[in-house]
Amino acid sequence: YPKSAYDRAGGVVFLPRMLDKIRLNLENALPMEYHSHLGERMDERCCKFLHVSYDEIVCEVAAGRSDEEIVEWCFAHGRTPDAQEVEMWNSFMRKRGWQEEDPRVTDTLKRFKAESGLGNREDIQTFFDYFDVDEKRKP
């Protein structure tokens, strides 16, 4: 399974997870449940935040670059967010699914929890929490 969404590269949360999913997919080792969302949802948000395309990042991963090399590439070819922008991004992403303005996002998290048998877990408040708990239970 991919790295935790809480992991950081260049100070940016979620990016190492996205890169890890790409690596695992290139190695044909990514579980099928992840395939339908590659480059979408949180991946897409991350790319938009960095002003780079998902396909460009896939090429950088395929070239064998490390997480830190790729984040530097993103900053050079997309944009370099300042410390405050990174802080806002990190706060937004770490809280995703918790008390969302768009109830569909919170409903999706609730549905994921229920489908995984975690519907009664009050400690799982965000997608990041869900990913960590759900993936640690799997072989």
pLDDT of 16 > 70? The answer is yes
Q: Please write the tens of the pLDDT for every residue from 18-49.
A: 999 999 999 999 999 899 889 999 999 999 99
In one-letter notation, the amino acid at residue 28 is N
pLDDT of 139 > 80? The answer is no
Cβ pair 105, 96 in contact under 8 A = yes
Helix (H) or strand (E) holding 12: strand 12-13
Alpha-carbon span 19 to 8, nearest angstrom: 11
Comparison of pLDDT for 106 and 139, the residue scoring more: 106
Cβ pair 12, 89 in contact under 8 A = yes
Length of the chain in residues, anyone?
139
H helices present in the chain, as ranges: 15-26, 42-50, 54-62, 67-77, 83-94, 103-115, 127-136
Q: Please write the tens of the pLDDT for every residue from 48-90.
A: 999 999 999 999 999 999 999 999 999 999 999 999 999 999 9
State if pTM tops 0.85.
yes
